Amino acid sequence: MSTAVLETKLDTLSLDGLAPPEPQFADGQMTPHAEAVTCPFSGKVASESEDGEVAKCPVAHAAPEISIQEVDEELLKTSLEDRMVYVKDFIGFGREQHQILNKIAPLVTGMIPQVVDDLYAKLFEFDVTKKIFMKRNQGFDGPLPERLEDLTLDGPQITYRKIFMKSWARRVLTSDYSSGKTWAYMDKVGIMHTGVKSFKHRAHVSPLHVPYRDCALTLGWVQTVLQTAVLQLPDEKLSLPEKIHAIAAISKVIWIQNDLFARHYTGE
């Protein structure tokens, strides 16, 4: 067969027989419909509407319900008990945090005296925080220097103040956080720094006033030191998961104490 004849036959050859058969769907549709889905709530079958949108199942596509707790804002201001329920729930402070704080207490309380010494050294780095200690208060009746530069870290009033700070630091780690008395104590610690007398046994002393700014910064400093001490503990004394848990618990309890300062400065 000549080349010309072959080319003529190829030109006239129909490829219709080689093409795959076109799919056939109901109602003459050339595109398949998705499998019908029956809504378990309404019993209706999801179908496409005239505007092209697909019907949605009210169960499968319903937005998840969010439980909203009702909080009385006035009680948050006036009731310590109601405030603590809200604060602890919000920040996630409960039995587990209480237990891990009590567990690390014997491991780190030995360093508290040094922590307090270092804290006062930090407060002495700035005149705005150092000058607070020039005032006679907190039950101290000993001699006071007349000039700021004469106030020293080993002075009698600073030594007296450190006693209270050490007691507070120990209670942060050893307190029974299931008792309302613990939160009442921490609340009074906040009150006493505003110039209002909060402890009965200190009713006869001059009031103490410390700016909230410096109270918050002090708490932040203490938090960092305590958390660092926990991280430095040997693994045989505290496992890594326990350290992580303890770090979080320290953060939460310090922020709660911060709130119990702030409420008396801001009125919130």
Residue 201 pLDDT greater than 50, yes or no: no
| Domain coordinates in residue numbering, the chain | 25-64, 73-266
Over residues 206-225, mean pLDDT: 90
- Read off the pLDDT of residues 4-32 as tens digits, 9 standing for 90 and up: 555 555 455 454 555 555 555 555 555 55
Distance of CA 73 to the CA centre of its chain: 20
Residue 119 pLDDT greater than 80, yes or no: yes
Residue 226 pLDDT greater than 70, yes or no: yes
Q: pLDDT band at 102, cuts 50/70/90?
A: very high
pLDDT value at position 20? 56
Residue 162 pLDDT greater than 60, yes or no: yes
> The dihedral of CA 216, 220, 223, 225: what is its sign?
negative
State whether residue 242 is helix, strand or coil. helix
Mean pLDDT of the chain: 82
Q: Name the DSSP letter for residue 14.
A: -
Q: pLDDT band at 95, cuts 50/70/90?
A: very high
Report the CATH number of the 73-266 domain: 1.10.490.10
